[in-house]
Amino acid sequence: MAFVLGIDIGSAASKGILLNDQGMQASYECPSGGDFKLTAERIKKELLSQTQKSEKEISRTVATGYGSTLVAFADEVKPDMVCHGKGVSSLLPSVRTVIDVGDLYTKVLHIDGHGSMHNFLLSGKCAGGSGRILQVIAKVLHVKVEEIGELSLKSKKRIDFSTGCAVFAESEAISRLSQEVTKEDLLAGLHRALAAQINSLVERIGVEQDVAMVGGGARDVGLVQALKEVRNQDILVPPNPHMTAALGAALIAMEGLKDKIET
């Protein structure tokens, strides 16, 4: 039985999925660290260890993400948006617009029923409107980044957070804390400001229904809720939304394998 590997080396976190024609066999994620080559090797090793497989049994590997070109053992490198499209479509076939809130960028893409991308838009070089701001604030508030979504939903009096800039957000948060604003209200305000920025990107390209949110930002329930409120519409979130690019990469690897067999 053929196994394929999809590997997503992101700027903050890296993920891998081992797949065969029965479905997903193993998944793994870890911080990307400073050495992307080493991280890729680590992911492969971990997935093989989980499934008790050997390297020779992996028939094809597709790499994606910020550090994808450094994955020396990859057979193919694909843009992460292409992989997100494939991954989301396999989990939520009705989705036509995907919002990926990553560490450094937010991306919006339109896909067809097969997960093929036919238009997209990225946020600019500035990290404003991306997930990085959430990590910055988590550090300021001394909370884990995984906790900020739930905290935000407990807000009773959301503040107006004036910036979506990752740099200015830190100083604004500190000054708000000195005014005795609660963590919950501050986070709700931040989520709303971030959601507004993401929404302006979404509006630039337009929306085709259904809409899904993926990437690390989609694990933050507070941010998802804020975006739903700003857009006044439902937004689907697949299980493990941060893994969809790795999943898509694995699916593309599987497709590549089939093409190879057919030819």
Partner 1 sequence: MADEKKEVKPKKRMTATQAAASIGPMVKEFITGTLRARAEGKQKIAYTFIVCHHEEIFRAMDVVPVWTENFAGICGAKRDAERFLQRAESLGLSRSLCTYALCGIGFDQWREELGQMPPDAPWGGQVRPDFMISSGQILCDPRSKWYQASQQFMPDVPIYNIDLPYPLFQRDRDHRDVWDYYHQYIVKQLRGLVTFLEEQTKKKMDYDRLRELVDLSDRTWNLIEETYDLRKAVPCPMGTGDAMNTMVPINFMMATQQAYDFFVNLKKELEEKIAKGEGEVENEKYRLMWGGGLPAWFALTDFNYFNSKGASFPVETTYRMVAPLNQMDIPETKDPIEHLAWRWLGYWTFWYDKAKKRPGSEPDVERLINRIEEYKIDGVVMHEAFSCRTWHVGLIWQLHQLAKIYKPIPVFVTGKGGKKEKIYRELPSLILESDIIDITSYSEVDTKNKIDAFIETLESIRLNRAA
How many beta carbons lie within 10 A of that of residue 86, not counting itself?
28
Which residues in 177-206 contact partner 1 (CB under 8 A)?
204, 206
Q: Contacting partner 1 (CB under 8 A), which of 45, 118, 139, 258? A: 118
Helix %, strand %, coil % of the chain (to 5): 50, 20, 30
Mask for 124-163, x = binds partner 1 (CB under 8 A): xx--------------------------------------
For residue 49, state whether it binds partner 1 (rule: CB under 8 A): no
Residue with tokens 């689907």: 236
| Rounded least distance, CB 115 to partner 1, Å | 10
Q: Specify which residues 9 forms β-bridges with.
A: 14
Size of the site for partner 1 (CB under 8 A): 21
Say what angle helices 132-141 and 183-205 make with each other, to 10 degrees: 170
Using the rule CB under 8 A, is 236 a contact of partner 1? no
SS3 204: helix
81 binds partner 1, rule: CB under 8 A: yes
Q: How far apart are CA 262 and CA 47, in angstroms?
A: 28
Judged by CB under 8 A, does residue 43 bind partner 1?
A: no
**Residues within the interface to partner 1 (CB under 8 A):** 66, 78-82, 105, 112-114, 116-122, 124-125, 204, 206
